[in-house]
Amino acid sequence: MALSKSSNTYGRTSWEDSEFPILCPTCLGDNPYVRMMKEKFGSECKICVRPFTTFRWCPGARMRFKKTEICQTCAKLKNVCQTCLLDLEYGLPIQVRDQALNIKDNIAKSDVNKEYFIQNAEKQLSATDHGVPGAAGGPGKSHPPSDLLMKLARTAPYYRRNLPHICSFWVKGECKRGEECPYRHEKPTDPDDPLADQNIKDRYYGTNDPVAEKLMRRAATLPRLDAPEDKSITTLYVGNIGEKMLEKELRDHFYQYGEIRSITIVSRQQCAFVTYVTRSAAELAAEGTFNKLIIQNRRLVIRWGKSQGKQNIPGTTNTEAGARFEPVPGLPRALPHPEELEHNFFNLAPTTSAFSSPYPQFAPPTYPLMAPPPPNPTPNQPELPGFLAEGQSGIHYPSQDPTRLGAINKTRQT
């Protein structure tokens, strides 16, 4: 057991004893049957240097063992996890949260006032809110949410943060454990990267935290949702709703921005369409929910709906419907409409049959001679084959070519 050299060595009553740590979902892991090793007064707090009860556990398979780094009193004052020191509600560094909520840090940092401040904070926590994180004036849930925090907040655990450290022997090419090595065999990051140099006290006090600075730079470049120019659009597209999202849950959130005309849920595509009565209500909803809306631990995607299909305006050309393209030389002309052919699908010459019946639909079929289709000259017509007369158009199918069966066009012979 590690003992402090300060006055805490002689005041064991100020040491902290607890039954379970204060952890975030990421540090706790996804195993519901996690086993922890508890050691009473096993280490000193990295902030107030008081001995406290430590916990050690493995958050999951192929993960590294984790342990508590600060005492519960320091964690409650900042509403953070005892291991990663990230905010319990948003999963963000303290520096980002304090800047978004305009919180001023009044925690004592000197060794002289630190012990006195912690003792007063413990009394206030136990007397007011029964030790709930964020009580006694701390940055808990009493503060209203911020748009910046809603955009940057994590909605799901990030278990990659629990991966083992990089094997230093593998980096030097001397690791002989192979797959049995509990450490990662990956290339380390650049040593000049600011994220490679992190201090637990800087993270707790919210000063010079490289992770927080990276998130603030990302927040400055977040995309914006611009309203469309078409004022008739009052529909918002809501994506990533999942399969269990109900219309009531969407209506309970979106009705605060204005009167809703309809809500359509497309379960197969996991999206919904919220239509407002007025355009101003739709703009308020888009501004209040873009990159901020979280329902059922899912960050919903907000986009503006698209306008209905525009009608073709006279005098304009449309590449799909109204445009006319020049015919390609050498290709057969378009087939005539079936009504124009009168069931003559091969453009055969009309013939008379000796058989007449009052019921033509039951008449026997006729077998006329092969004849070219009627003349239909087109501009830039290619050279006709030898078996066709001048002024006649090309054939439609190769099977209509009489020369394939050995016929000779005597009119073209000289």
Boundary-marking domain end, from 277, 304, 331 = 304
pLDDT digits (tens, 9 = 90+) for 52-70: 999 999 998 889 999 999 9
How large is the average pLDDT for residues 118-134?
68
CA–CA distance, 316 with 301 (Å, rounded to integer): 36
Strand ranges in 58-111 using DSSP code E only, listed in sequence order: 66-67
Tokens describing residue 172: 């030097």
Q: What's the mean per-residue pLDDT of the chain?
A: 77
Greater pLDDT, 410 or 3: 410
Percent of the chain with pLDDT over 70: 67
Determine the 3-state secondary structure of 125 from DSSP: helix
pLDDT confidence of 139, banded at 50, 70, 90? low
Q: Which of 255, 263, 256 is nearest to 236 (CA)?
A: 263
Task: For residues 44 and 119, state if they share a domain.
Answer: yes
Residues 181 and 109 grouped into a single domain: yes
Domain that holds residue 242: 235-304
Find the helix or strand (DSSP H, E) in which 55 lies.
strand 51-57
Residue 252 has pLDDT above 70, yes or no: yes
Cβ atoms of 263 and 285 within 8 Å: the answer is no
Angle between helices 94-101 and 210-220 (to 10 degrees): 50
Q: Is residue 413 part of a domain?
A: no
Give me the pLDDT at residue 36, please. 94
- 147 with 292, same domain: the answer is no
Assign 82 a pLDDT band (cuts: 50, 70, 90). Answer: very high
What gap in Å lies between CA 84 and CA 68, rounded to an integer? 8
Q: What is the pLDDT of residues 225-242, one digit of tens each?
A: 888 888 889 999 999 888
CATH code of residue 273? 3.30.70.330
Query: Which residues have a Cβ under 8 Å from the Cβ of 285 and sit 6 or more positions away?
Result: 236, 254, 257, 258, 274, 276
Amino acid at 401: D
The percent of residues in the chain predicted with pLDDT above 90, rounded, is 25
Residue 98 dihedral angles phi and psi, to the nearest 5°: -65, -35
Q: What is the SS3 assignment for 380?
A: coil
Q: So what's the pLDDT on residue 101?
A: 85
Question: How many domains, in total, are found in the chain?
Answer: 2
Segment 7-22 shows an average pLDDT of 74
Task: Find where tokens 């069966």 sit.
Answer: 405
